Amino acid sequence: MWEEKGLTNTPGGVSPERVLTTTKNKPITIEDDKLPPSSKLGSPGGDILHKKGNIGNTALLRSYVVGHPEDERKKMDGFPSPSSQDIVEKMLKKFKQITKRPYPACVIFTIWGTDNIHTYGKTMAQIFELLGVKYTVEEDELELVPLEHLRRPRIDCVVACSGAFRDLFINQMTLLDRAIKMVAEAKEAPEMNLVRKHSFQLTQELNMSMREAASRVFSNAAGSYGANIAAWIKSNEWEGEIQLQRQYLARKCYVFNSDKPAVMEYKSDLFRATLRNCELTVQGIDCDELLSITDVPHFYDADPTKLIQSLRFDNERPVCLLVKTTRKHGEDVLTISESIRLDAMSKILSPNYYEDILSHNDEGVRTISNCMRNILGWSVTSGEVDTMIFEIAYGIYMDDNVMQKRIREKDETSFRHLLATFLRAGEMRYWDATRDKLEKLRALKKFTETLQ
Ligand code: BEZ
Ligand code: MG
């Protein structure tokens, strides 16, 4: 039945004409991968590695076999583990609550180097659980969990690796790639093996071999890090979401293939086509190390939620989940919108928090300004931020004249950045601000400029 659909790559299938006429299908060019003019960021040494095309850490390439020092091995349960089974159950339950569908056809995981170290590969274990693949550390063996034990289809997974993960964990990228290709090659009914189903569709659409079409492990080019979205948001020189989404595609579309390891190959068509199948995005955060996803920019920088929405033919936004891990309480699964609401309520919207950091911390205004900018970043990439968060924060930091003067006098530069974030959020309608509020912010901007 799936052969008949020909050039299709969504679970429901679409007509080939649609593929050719969508404006979003324009080829990605080098112009899509540039830094904001004001940015001084770059990837040290990246240009050399990039030209060679090699994966960053060449020393690791020599140890091709999966392995860990003995004491580290003991801490790994093998994949999947009992806890990854629980967490995947929670993910699927949440997905079902939101979409009323039993499971997603494809899930994209952003996978971090630090998270992989701290959690001993828990995100990888979740991917193996969805694929229905078992990995035993002692024997270094991959095997399929029989479908009658899995009792659901094998779910397709795309793995978007951070640059640090790519540099440090080529063995784990190899393991993930081998597992996904093994699933694609299992002779099972396509409706019970969504990796196989999508891979076959990709062979038709992109005219490639089954093993190539079953490549799902992506990252930046060698020597390059991140999607640059955060650099543009920080500079405030970005034009719109499409520009940022093309940036993500241009930078994160380098595929790892264990059949020809050592080189990250530019495969933007394959990346785009696999993203189109995604109905769920997942990131993990180790909450023993970092309190929240609004503290730092790299989580939204790596978030593909609205990009996927713009690529999908049905224009549906994927469900966007966060797996929070703490040593004490284990894992919890939240939607990004729940997580941002909780973070904001316990931090920048909480008098206990902002009074404390403004009274005892020289960097208090900068912390608030960075946090607001990260919240705006999440609005741009995920569309999951409630406009009320901007509204309440505006009331606290801008509309209250006493507070406004206090933070402006404490740290004028950070105040100006905070003001710019509110203006951007209001002007681009991430915050449903009234005209009066925007006028007040513009007047305030003029006033602060006269002080410079
Ligand atoms: C990582 O763990 O992969 C990572 C952490 C911070 C920034 C970028 C990457
Ligand atoms: Mg990175």
Q: What's residue 452's pLDDT?
A: 73
Instruction: Give the pLDDT score at 45.
Output: 47
Degrees (nearest 5) of the Cα angle 35, 368, 377?
40
Instruction: State the average pLDDT over residues 58-76.
Output: 42
Burial of 157 (0-12, 13-18, 19+ CB in 10 A): buried
Average pLDDT over residues 373-398: 98
| Pairwise CA distance, residues 184 & 196, whole Å | 4
For the chain, percent of residues with pLDDT exceeding 70: 85
> Tokens 């609205």 identify what position?
306
Distance of CA 49 to the CA centre of its chain: 24
Ligand 1, residue 226: give the atom nearest the CA.
8
pLDDT the model gives residue 236: 94
**Worst-scoring range by mean pLDDT, 27-36, 215-224, 353-362?**
27-36
Average pLDDT over residues 278-300: 88
User: Which pLDDT tens digit goes with each residue over 154-210?
Assistant: 999 999 999 999 999 999 999 999 999 999 999 999 999 999 999 999 999 999 999
* Centre of ligand 2 from the C-alpha of residue 127, in Å: 20
Confidence of residue 65 (pLDDT cuts 50, 70, 90): very low
Q: What does pLDDT average to over the chain?
A: 87
Residue 25 has pLDDT above 80, yes or no: no
The DSSP call for residue 95 is H
For residues 262 and 209, the model is more confident at 209
Ligand 1 centroid – CA 159 distance (Å): 15
Q: What digits encode the pLDDT tens for the residues 77-112?
A: 567 777 889 999 999 999 999 999 999 999 999 999
Range 213-220 average pLDDT: 98
Question: Which ligand is located closest to the Cα atom of residue 226?
Answer: 2
Q: Is the dihedral of CA 69, 75, 81, 87 positive or negative?
A: negative
A 10 A CB-CB count for 6 gives 12
- Ligand 1 atom at minimal distance to the Cα of residue 164: 3
Residue 417 near residue 448, CB atoms below 8 Å? no
> What's the rounded mean pLDDT across residues 56-72?
42
Rounded to the nearest 5°, which phi and psi values hold at 417? Answer: -65, -40
Whole-angstrom Cα distance, residue 17 to residue 407?
A: 55
Q: How far apart are CA 270 and CA 216, in angstroms?
A: 9
> Could you give the CA distance from residue 149 to residue 131 in angstroms, rounded to a whole number?
13
Residues with CB under 6 A from ligand 1: 112-114, 162, 164-165, 298
Nearest ligand to the CA atom of 283: 1
Kindly tell me if the per-residue pLDDT of 428 is higher than 90: yes
Closest CA to 56 of 261, 224, 223: 223
**Gap from CA of 252 to ligand 2 centroid (Å):** 9
| 205 CA distance to ligand 2 middle (Å) | 30
Residues paired with 54 in a beta bridge: 263
Q: Read off the DSSP letter of residue 23.
A: G
pLDDT at 54 over 50: yes
Contact by Cβ (8 Å): 227, 30: no
Q: Are 94 and 319 in contact (CB under 8 A)?
A: yes
Give the ligand with the smallest distance to the CA of 248.
Answer: 2
Cα–ligand 1 centroid distance for 265 (angstroms): 21
Report the separation in Å between the CA atom of 109 and the middle of ligand 1, taken as the mean of its atom positions: 14
Q: Which residue CA neighbors atom 5 of ligand 1 most closely?
A: 114
Query: Quick check: 3 pLDDT over 60?
Result: no
Among 404, 407, 440, 438, residue whose Cα is nearest residue 423: 438
pLDDT confidence bin for 74, thresholds 50/70/90: very low
Mean pLDDT within 276-284: 97
Helix (H) or strand (E) holding 319: strand 319-326
Average pLDDT on 360-366 reads: 91
Flag the least confident range among 38-42, 65-69, 244-248, 384-388: 65-69
Please give all residues whose CB falls under 5 A of ion ligand 2, grouped by chain where several chains appear: 162-163, 225-226
Residue 246 burial by Cβ neighbours in a 10 Å radius (0-12, 13-18, 19+) = buried
**Residue 165 Cα: closest atom of ligand 1:** 3
Looking at the DSSP assignment, which residues form a beta bridge with residue 323? Answer: 284, 333
By most ligand atoms within 8 Å of CB, the mutation choice from 109, 112, 118 for ligand 1 is 112
What integer is the mean pLDDT of 124-143? 91
Ligand 1 center to residue 165 CA distance, Å?
Answer: 8
Please tell me the distance from the alpha carbon of residue 161 to that of residue 159, in angstroms, as a whole number. 6
DSSP class of 397: I
Instruction: With beta carbons less than 8 A apart as the criterion, state whether 95 and 53 touch.
Output: no
Q: What phi and psi, each to the nearest 5 degrees, are found at residue 312?
A: -70, 140
Give the pLDDT confidence score for residue 120 in this predicted structure: 82
Inter-residue contact 228 to 251 (CB < 8 Å)? yes
Query: Which residue, among 241, 274, 279, has the nearest Cα to 100 in the 3D structure?
Result: 279
Least confident span in 157-171, 288-302, 369-383: 288-302
What is the model's pTM?
Answer: 0.89
CA distance 112 to 282: 12
SS3 39: coil
4-13: average pLDDT = 32
217 beta partners:
159, 256
